[in-house]
Amino acid sequence: MKKILIILLTACCFSLSANEVKYDIIVAQDGSGNFTSVQEAINSVRGVMTERKTIFIKNGIYREKVVVETHSMNITLVGEDVEKTIISWGDHANMSLPGTDKPMGTFKTYTLLVQGHGFRAENLTIENNAEPLAQAVALHAEGDKAVFVNCRFLGNQDTIYAGNHLSRQYYKNCYIEGTTDFIFGSATVYFEHCSIYSKKNSYITAPSTPQENPFGFVFFQCKLTAAEGINKVYLGRPWRPYGASAFIECVLGSHILPAGWDNWRNADNEKTARFVEINNTGAGADISQRVTWSKQLDKSQEKNYSLEKVFTTIEDTWNPK
């Protein structure tokens, strides 16, 4: 009887906790919220804000091309269910810009564009469902101090563009899939406990980290898997000289090639690329045949890639947790 009472009291507390959650705005396609589209909700709070605004998005497939502009800061999007709350669009680089015969190009294909600082997303799926004909970005993030927790990013080539060399981004417990260079850009990004899924024999990361930035993409305790039959995947290649990627305590599947890294058909990149592995496991973690210009560090050097160090700049130290 005592055990049953404890269970009932616990359930009651969780129920009260859930009901007490307050959101500034609710988006629902059935009209039960404040708005029926995500963009309308974001527009309603546009402007530089010091106080965070939280937008709750009920389940549904929101077919929108969403923009969080530079002057829209400290916005949080919270989905009801990560697998059922989906923002989806389908532009790719070879499509024409609306009203013109000019190709769209990679950087206008986004489903979600985040320019404002302090953005946060939880329990959302961001999808670019274009046919795999060209580059097609699901998330284009360039604002500073962006956080993504328990989100899914679905696409093919160029799924996540982490742009802007001044941007810091944190991804935790996220699922990211793609074909070629599907995590690319110049930002400083920390991926923690994420699942990275390759859909094609190709390349995972394509960093364009500037020389003055000590870190590019850091993957900590992530899991790398692949579709059936995929067995020739590189951890990355430098999109620009000095591109940086590090995999630390990750589980690397058998789809990762023994060489590990590629120089993007330019031997000069081998002199500047900063590709690092520390204490990885799995069938793809054998470093005996890694390219000689990548770095294999021991566990004692992990502290140099801590979350705190990665996100410390001249201006401040940011702790996304």
Q: Which residues are catalytic?
A: 158, 181
Instruction: Count Cα neighbours of 111 within 13 Å in the Cβ-side half-sphere.
Output: 30
User: What is the DSSP code (8-state) at residue 27?
Assistant: E
Q: Are 235 and 219 in contact (CB under 8 A)?
A: no
Q: Which residues contact 60 (CB under 8 A, 6 or more apart)?
A: 28, 29, 84, 85, 86
- 16's enclosing H/E stretch is helix 2-19
Q: Are 257 and 234 in contact (CB under 8 A)?
A: yes
CA distance 54 to 73: 11
Q: For residue 193, which of 158, 221, 157, 225 has the smallest C-alpha distance?
A: 221
